[in-house]
Amino acid sequence: MGLGMTALALVPPISMAFAEPYYVDLFTRILIFAIAALSLDLIMSYGGMLSFGHAAYLGVGAYAVGIANAYGIDNEVIHLLLAIAGAAVVAAGIGFISLRTSGVHFIMITLAFSQMLYFLAISINTFGGADGMTMTQHSQLGSLIPLDDANVLYYFVFVFLALFLWMQSRIIRSRFGMVIRGARTNPRRMAALGFPVLRYQLAAFVVSGVMCGIAGALLAEQALFVSPSIMQWSRSGEIMVMVIMGGMGMLFGPILGAVAYLVLEDLLTSWTQYWALFLGPILVVIVLFGRHGIMSLIPGLVRKPRHV
């Protein structure tokens, strides 16, 4: 994990050394989606909550920034607070309803809510409708942190990724994390032990949604563009693929999955417009030969998770 984060930290200087600034933008996007994948991994791998509507929080965070920018609010702290508040409220509402179900019903309810928000964004012409909305400028965070500088923005996103990685490692080892993991295996037994399982699951669901909402805010900051496509169901599927591809239940797995997925996408799209046709077999091979994703294909790097 430490080696992987060190490699990611070296992307800007290496890109500058080879005069390839494009890779700073590419890996900024990768880090943002790594945060989204990490947030889904928290509830999917450790809590057994297979959400197929996680892109909804990505969109809420992005629109929080885009709408604030449209009204002349350019402070990044305010943008992040709005993204956190919006994602928390939406995740609490969706989680309160969907967590009363399980299995396929849970998947379909999260997907349905995500699509409802997607069509809501399309229908609001004030904020661009289906065409989306373009932001006029980058957010402001003081003269010492100019977010319009690609390298500064990269490390700004990198700090959030490192923070969430540390936070998730603490959560899964805490009493809270143990309850979530126990509820994944046997919720009735955890309830019999006196734990309010639904409250714990809802709290984890909201934390996951907030993390993904912040990723959405950072995505809007990088692209300076927000559109309903951010929260389309296929985006939720991509985030889930990143988690599975990297390694479910392995702390660095979702990050590695985001790197592998988006780098492959970038390479394949440069060769053909039918890139997905080639990406599919690659994913099949990884799943067939790596039971726990790419992480399990690297000998001696990590131990296989005991709870997956």
Task: Render each residue's pLDDT in the chain as its tens digit; 308 residues.
Answer: 678 899 999 999 999 999 899 999 999 999 999 999 999 999 999 999 999 999 999 999 999 999 999 999 989 999 999 999 999 999 999 999 999 998 899 999 999 999 999 999 999 998 889 999 999 888 888 777 888 899 999 999 999 999 999 999 999 999 999 999 999 988 889 989 889 999 999 999 999 999 999 999 999 999 999 999 999 999 999 999 999 999 888 889 899 999 999 999 999 888 888 888 888 888 888 877 777 788 877 765 554 444 44
**Residues for the chain: how many in total?**
308
List the alpha helices (DSSP H) in 174-252: 175-185, 187-192, 197-223, 233-246
- The pLDDT value recorded for residue 1 is 66
- The pLDDT value recorded for residue 251 is 87
**DSSP letter assigned to residue 75:** B
Which domains are seen in the chain, by residue range?
2-297 (1.10.3470)
- The pLDDT value recorded for residue 305 is 45
Q: Which of 159, 138, 134 is closest to 150 using CA atoms?
A: 138
Q: Whole-angstrom Cα distance, residue 139 to residue 145? A: 10
- Which residues are registered as beta bridge partners of 225? 134
- The pLDDT value recorded for residue 271 is 87
What are the tokens at 15? 């890109």
Helix (H) or strand (E) holding 192: helix 187-192
Q: Which of 109, 90, 96 is closest to 50 using CA atoms?
A: 109
> 66 with 131: CB under 8 angstroms?
no
Q: Which of 10, 35, 15, 37 is closest to 25 using CA atoms?
A: 15
Q: Which of 228, 207, 170, 236 is closest to 33 using CA atoms?
A: 236
> 256 with 295: CB under 8 angstroms?
yes
Phi, psi torsion values for 226, nearest 5 degrees:
-130, 135
- The pLDDT value recorded for residue 78 is 95
- The pLDDT value recorded for residue 239 is 95
Q: Whole-angstrom Cα distance, residue 289 to residue 277? A: 20
Q: Whole-angstrom Cα distance, residue 102 to residue 170? A: 26
- The pLDDT value recorded for residue 182 is 92
- The pLDDT value recorded for residue 304 is 45
Flag whether the pTM goes above 0.85. yes
Q: Whole-angstrom Cα distance, residue 254 to residue 242? A: 6
- The pLDDT value recorded for residue 308 is 41
